[in-house]
């Protein structure tokens, strides 16, 4: 007996592919291809910047170069991952998905170029912030996050697309984390809660959006290529998993302020991990191994419960190595793998390519998986840290440079029909 995904599930890839070839005057774009849809400039910028981010940070952290920023190397690294790279991915995703959610005109042309320029201004402001007034640097860096959140909120409210208000609300928490980061670094010289809140908000976005696209794309592929058991439709179990996971993430962020509640925190975090593992088993991940473009979505989501379980174990023993492994399971694993999974699939679909992973795409996935596993294992195996951490960095750079080389041409040229 099979269980189909609900027909109301948003499958942005399929919808856009259909409308892009239908002659809809709102979607036909005569200008440069790279400015025709938000995913094009932002996914390309995100990939290039992700590679640069690690390529600069490692030698800087080791003392071989310096960056004229007011932030410490660790704070710069965390800030630019969460509010630089992730910001570009969020923008690319939202600017591409929202027209399909709402039926409204996509942001393109000069307006899209202006958003890209605003994102670049933020990156430059943070990089040279030692030469700027702190308020000026923060305002320049925060401008893009506020702009993209405002655009998303306007489009969703204008279309009365209330189903996706929770997505914008979570992005709003992510913006609040960025504001908190600036306050902490200005007030104390480093950030703790701002970084944690930024990670938590991004992970919760994966729980919401991943909870839609992973089972939806899995079901679509299974019906075509491997008929049989399908993902279970979104139901009350998923709602409670989101509620408990959101509470666990909030408690994790607040954890250092209440060390006496560590055992209770550990229980909640482990419960969230188990629930998310069970949630994912209901999506038939074992039936997708023949198509890496689908399997990688499950791989990215899998690091979410792994992070919860590591965090829960760490709460019982206050073990720094588990705390570090948790952060990197969520950042390199869940965020890195899931964002690359979405970027590759969306780039193929919206540029008219076949929805299947070739050798280059598989190599990209292999590289980011190696990076995630090595970075999580590093703090858990300190005797091998000097091998595992550089390996993670090299593999991360290879994954995003690979995306740039394989998908960059698709992102800057006009759509073709698969």
Convert the pLDDT of each residue in 138-185 to its tens digit: 999 999 999 999 999 999 999 999 999 999 999 999 999 999 999 999
Q: pTM for the whole thing?
A: 0.91
182-233: pLDDT as tens digits? 999 999 998 999 999 999 999 999 999 999 999 999 999 999 999 999 999 9
Residue 122 clears pLDDT 70, i.e. is over it? yes
Q: How far apart are CA 157 and CA 153, in angstroms?
A: 6
In this prediction, residues 252-273 reach a mean pLDDT of 85
The DSSP result for 338-380, as a single string, is HHHHHHHHHHHHHTT--SS--HHHHHHHHHHHHHHHHHHHHHH
For range 90-114, the mean pLDDT: 94
Does the pLDDT at position 385 exceed 80? yes
pLDDT recorded at residue 258: 62
Position 24 scores a pLDDT of 44
DSSP for 246-304, written as a single string: HHHHHHHHHGGG-GGGHHHHHHHHHHHHHHHHHHHHTT-GGG-TT-HHHHHHHHHHHHH
Is the pLDDT at 21 greater than 60, yes or no?
Answer: no
CA dist 53 → 74, 78, 100, 185, 187 (Å):
12, 10, 32, 20, 25
Give the range among 188-197, 260-269, 288-297, 368-377 with minimum mean pLDDT.
Answer: 260-269
Contact 360, 348 (CB under 8 A): no
Q: What is the pLDDT of residue 51?
A: 97
Q: Which residues contact 168 (CB under 8 A, 6 or more apart)?
A: 149, 152, 153, 156
Cα atoms in the Cβ-side hemisphere of radius 13 Å centred on 354 = 5
């Amino acid at each position: 007996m099979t269980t189909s995904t609900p027909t109301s599930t948003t499958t942005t890839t399929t919808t856009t592919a259909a409308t892009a070839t239908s002659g809809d005057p709102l979607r036909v774009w005569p200008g440069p291809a790279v400015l025709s849809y938000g995913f094009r400039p932002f996914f390309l910028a995100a990939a290039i910047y992700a590679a640069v981010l690690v390529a600069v940070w490692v030698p800087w952290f080791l003392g071989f170069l310096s960056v004229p920023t007011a932030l410490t190397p660790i704070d710069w690294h965390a800030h630019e991952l969460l509010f630089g790279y992730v910001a570009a991915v969020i923008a690319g995703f939202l600017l591409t998905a929202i027209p399909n959610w709402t039926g409204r005109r996509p942001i393109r042309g000069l307006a899209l170029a202006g958003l890209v320029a605003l994102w670049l201004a933020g990156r430059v402001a943070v990089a040279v912030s030692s030469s700027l007034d702190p308020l000026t640097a923060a305002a320049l860096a925060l401008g893009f996050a506020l702009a993209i959140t405002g655009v998303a909120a306007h489009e969703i409210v204008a279309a009365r697309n209330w189903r996706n208000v929770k997505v914008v609300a979570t992005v709003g928490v992510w913006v609040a984390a960025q504001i908190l980061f600036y306050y902490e670094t200005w007030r104390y010289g480093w950030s703790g809660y701002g970084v944690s809140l930024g990670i938590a908000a991004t992970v919760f976005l994966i729980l919401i959006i991943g909870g839609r696209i992973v089972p939806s794309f899995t079901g679509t592929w299974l019906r075509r290529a491997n008929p049989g058991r399908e993902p279970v439709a979104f139901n009350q179990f998923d709602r409670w998993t989101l509620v408990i996971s959101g509470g666990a993430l909030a408690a994790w962020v607040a954890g250092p302020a209440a060390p006496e509640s560590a055992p209770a925190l550990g229980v909640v975090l482990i419960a969230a991990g188990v629930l998310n593992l069970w949630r994912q088993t209901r999506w038939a991940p074992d039936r997708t191994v023949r198509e890496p473009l689908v399997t990688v979505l499950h791989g990215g989501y899998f690091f979410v419960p792994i992070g919860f379980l590591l965090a829960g174990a760490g709460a019982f023993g206050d073990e720094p190595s588990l705390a570090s492994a948790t952060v990197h399971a969520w950042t390199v694993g869940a965020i890195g793998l899931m964002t690359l999974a979405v970027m590759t699939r969306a780039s193929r679909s919206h540029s008219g390519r076949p929805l299947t992973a070739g050798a280059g795409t598989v190599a990209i996935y292999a590289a980011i998986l190696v990076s995630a596993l090595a970075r999580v294992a590093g703090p858990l195996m300190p005797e091998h840290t000097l091998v595992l951490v550089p390996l993670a960095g090299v593999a991360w750079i290879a994954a995003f440079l690979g995306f740039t080389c394989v998908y960059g041409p698709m992102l800057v040229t006009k759509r073709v029909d698969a």
